[in-house]
Amino acid sequence: MGIEFRGSYTVTVTPFTPGGEKIDYEALKRFLDWQIECGVPGVIILGTTGEFLTLTDDERNDYVEATVKHVNGRMHVLVGAMNAYTPRAAAYAKMAEDLGADGLMILPPYYYTPTEEEIFGYYKAICAATKLPIMLYNNPFTSNVDMSAKLVARLTGAFEQVQYIKEASTDVGRVFDVIKESNGGMKVFAGERIVESFLLGAIGYVDPFGNYIPRATQKLWNLLEAGRIEDAKKIQRHITKIEHTIAEGHPTYGHQCYSKALAALAGYPVGDVRAPLTTFASLGEEGKERLAVLAGVMKELDQLLVDLDKNAAA
């Protein structure tokens, strides 16, 4: 339990061959090397952005094994191990540990809208199956469950493995509430509102934008830790433009469909999404127009990074 997670961790896409038929392991290796080159301290695979629901158990096993083997200790690898069925989630957690993962990110059981006691029992069973550090994942939009600060504090106090949380509710003040309720025991990773979450005590960021602008998101977090808050806000404003462009009119498919298109634009093609998600090609002219806007924002970000470095050196 000696590993410490901190900073901006990319929650990664899963690369697929054309049509989503298979996992593209050559694309995966190139993508992981790029993340390492950009200074990413860790990746989180098989999260929402990674389309975890579309993988078979055999694919999951092979994908985790290939990721851990290729990274080879050069950055942390956390694995999404959530499931609506408690024994299966526990088995996924044990599988990840056996394959050499550094940690886990685990959403509460989805679909059923479980009670707090059912959520507690779920994490209890998972903690009995693994010694890996666990990052809770509070995302009411996808799980239909909003874990209260009191429940998070209870889980933190009850289980040694429960050390982190990705706080992705729409209430940025929850960062402060979780830290307060847990007496500082729970370490919070922002799921959104990066600068604001940092100022409220977050120690990291679970970062979907790292799939295509990893240098910028790493720079943002480094600026925060250096106390350069206003410079960090400049990067965040560009990220907000990206987020709004993707989400406008299409709230459900953005971070899978567009993340893959933008990774390809950045020089690291990772295929497209699996059904039932909307493929980028099916967006037609609208997709092309939005991609052109996003390409412009990414170019502006590249120049901003250069300017920030020049200002720091002056």
User: Maximum Cα–Cα distance for the chain, whole Å?
Assistant: 57
Whole-number Å distance between alpha carbons of 259 and 210? 9
3-state secondary structure of 134: strand
Q: Which of 137, 164, 212, 268 is catalytic?
A: 137
Give yes or no: 29 in active site: no
Whole-number Å distance between alpha carbons of 15 and 88? 24
CB contact at 8 A, 9 and 42: yes
> Given CA atoms 208, 212, 218, 219 in this order, what sign does their dihedral have?
negative
DSSP annotation of 23 reads B
Give phi and psi for 32, each to the nearest 5.
-65, -40
> Given CA atoms 54, 93, 59, 189 in this order, what sign does their dihedral have?
positive
Give yes or no: 253 in active site: no
Q: How many CB atoms lie within 10 A of CB 263?
A: 24
Q: How many CB atoms lie within 10 A of CB 225?
A: 12
CA–centroid distance for 199 within its chain: 20
Q: Which of 9, 123, 166, 212 is catalytic?
A: 166
Residue 134 pairs in a beta bridge with: 104, 162
CA neighbor of 208 nearest in space, from 5, 6, 4, 14: 14
Q: Which residues are catalytic?
A: 137, 166
